[in-house]
A and B are shown apart, each in its own frame.
Chain A
Amino acid sequence: MEISLRDLLTVLHGMGFGALFMLAFAGAVAELYRMSAPAPAAPASPREQRLLWWYLFAMVVLAWAAVLSGTYMVYPWYRAVPPAGTADLANYPKFLLTSSPTTSKWHSLGMEWKEHVSWLAPIAITMVAYVTARYRRALTRPRQLRTAVLVFVVVAFAATGVAGAFGAFLNKYAPVRGGPAIHLIGGEAEEGD
């Protein structure tokens, strides 16, 4: 079982950072809402507040890792220009997509939206982590502060959803491939049935 280096790093970008960041939203929204509700059933203890802060800090790291690895590692492979006369565009995903009217929108809508909108998420979640750490339980008092935090969390979630969904589709229609092969597990040839 082998995987190419570019495949592996694309998986790290999409599943390791992006998907993990997206999964973390459920916990963040639930905890932020519970903690900052005007009359919480059980006020958050200092330990729970610290836990939430570390949770949000981990989300901040994941969000920045996702956009930075996407912009500076995966995207250059995606938009690599094929040498003149190249017939097989399999290693040039952008040009593979734009070469056919049935797939060109995956680039002009999908990638062009994804590459920009995803950057809203780290900006928003960094602000949310800062405000949550700074105000802790006091987040319940100024209602507008709480509203702003939740709105930015929801927009960050939507932006991540757009980026993640288009990332998955783009990788299906024009996967980023190439680079040295990494041998994962030895296998044995099976006879066809």
Chain B
Amino acid sequence: MNKVESKRPDLTMGPAAVSEETLPNGPGASAILAAGIGSAALGVFALAGDAFPAINRLFTFYRPSGALSGVTTVAVVVWLVAWLLLARRWATETVAMAKVNVVAFVLLAVGVLLTFPPFMDLLQGK
């Protein structure tokens, strides 16, 4: 008697997986670009706080932590607001991901460079 092989369902290709395949890249792109924006904002605010005493005082939200409290809080706010706005705009869009990546990577590099003290000093002519 021939044994009838039952076809086992492919768990990786259920309805959820199918819908994932057709997802627009907009939501992902918005998260990636916003992370780049947040990183750059962190670097720019860190430099501004280091270069200008008035901005340094402005960023002192919590005195024991000094300007670091304001620099990081405002950068996180910028990141989240950028993410919210981009996510709304690109919720159902398919965007040019390669361009988004280039911009996000440049912004990330700006964030990394501007948090590096010797580079900050170089920009300020110290």
Q: Which A residues have a C-beta under 8 Å from some C-beta of B?
A: 43-46, 67, 71-72, 75-76, 79-80, 108-109, 112-113, 115-117, 119-120, 123-124, 126-127, 130-131, 134-138, 141-142, 144-145, 147-149, 151-152, 155, 159
Among B11, B42, B108, max chain A CB count under 10 A is at: B108
CB of A152, distance to nearest CB on chain B (Å): 6
- Enumerate chain A residues within 8 angstroms of B66, measured Cβ to Cβ: 79
Smallest CB gap from B118: residue in A: A109
The answer to whether A116 and B12 have CB atoms under 8 Å apart is no
The answer to whether A136 and B35 have CB atoms under 8 Å apart is no
Which are the 9 A-B pairs with shortest beta-carbon distances? A76-B64, A144-B97, A116-B115, A138-B20, A127-B35, A117-B115, A148-B32, A116-B46, A127-B31
**Cβ 8 A contact of A138, one of B23, B39, B43, B50:** B23
The answer to whether B32 and A127 have CB atoms under 8 Å apart is yes
Cross-chain pairs A/B with CB under 8 angstroms, 17 sampled? A46-B12, A46-B17, A75-B65, A109-B117, A116-B71, A119-B72, A119-B75, A124-B108, A130-B31, A131-B28, A135-B23, A136-B16, A136-B20, A138-B21, A142-B28, A147-B101, A155-B112
A109 to B116, CA, bound (A): 8
- Enumerate chain B residues within 8 angstroms of A126, measured Cβ to Cβ: 35
The answer to whether A120 and B112 have CB atoms under 8 Å apart is yes
A141 to B24, CA, bound (A): 11
The answer to whether B68 and A151 have CB atoms under 8 Å apart is no
CB of B11, distance to nearest CB on chain A (Å): 5
The answer to whether B27 and A134 have CB atoms under 8 Å apart is yes
8 more contacts with CB within 8 A, not counting A46-B12, A136-B17, A144-B101, are A75-B68, A76-B64, A115-B68, A123-B39, A123-B79, A127-B31, A127-B34, A138-B23
- Enumerate chain B residues within 8 angstroms of A113, measured Cβ to Cβ: 115-117
B interface residues, how many (CB within 8 angstroms): 46
Q: Which B residues have a C-beta under 8 Å from some C-beta of A?
A: 11-12, 14, 16-17, 20-21, 23, 25, 27-29, 31-32, 34-35, 38-39, 42-43, 46, 50, 62, 64-66, 68-69, 71-72, 75-76, 79, 97-98, 100-101, 104-105, 108, 111-112, 115-118
Given A116-B68, A119-B42, check contact A135 B20 (CB 8 Å).
yes
A72 to B122, CA, bound (A): 29
Given A109-B118, A113-B115, A115-B68, check contact A151 B105 (CB 8 Å).
yes
The answer to whether A123 and B20 have CB atoms under 8 Å apart is no
A124 to B75, CA, bound (A): 13
- Enumerate chain B residues within 8 angstroms of A142, measured Cβ to Cβ: 25, 28, 97
CB of B94, distance to nearest CB on chain A (Å): 9
CB of A9, distance to nearest CB on chain B (Å): 14
**Cβ 8 A contact of A155, one of B72, B108, B116:** B108
- Enumerate chain B residues within 8 angstroms of A72, measured Cβ to Cβ: 62, 64-65, 69
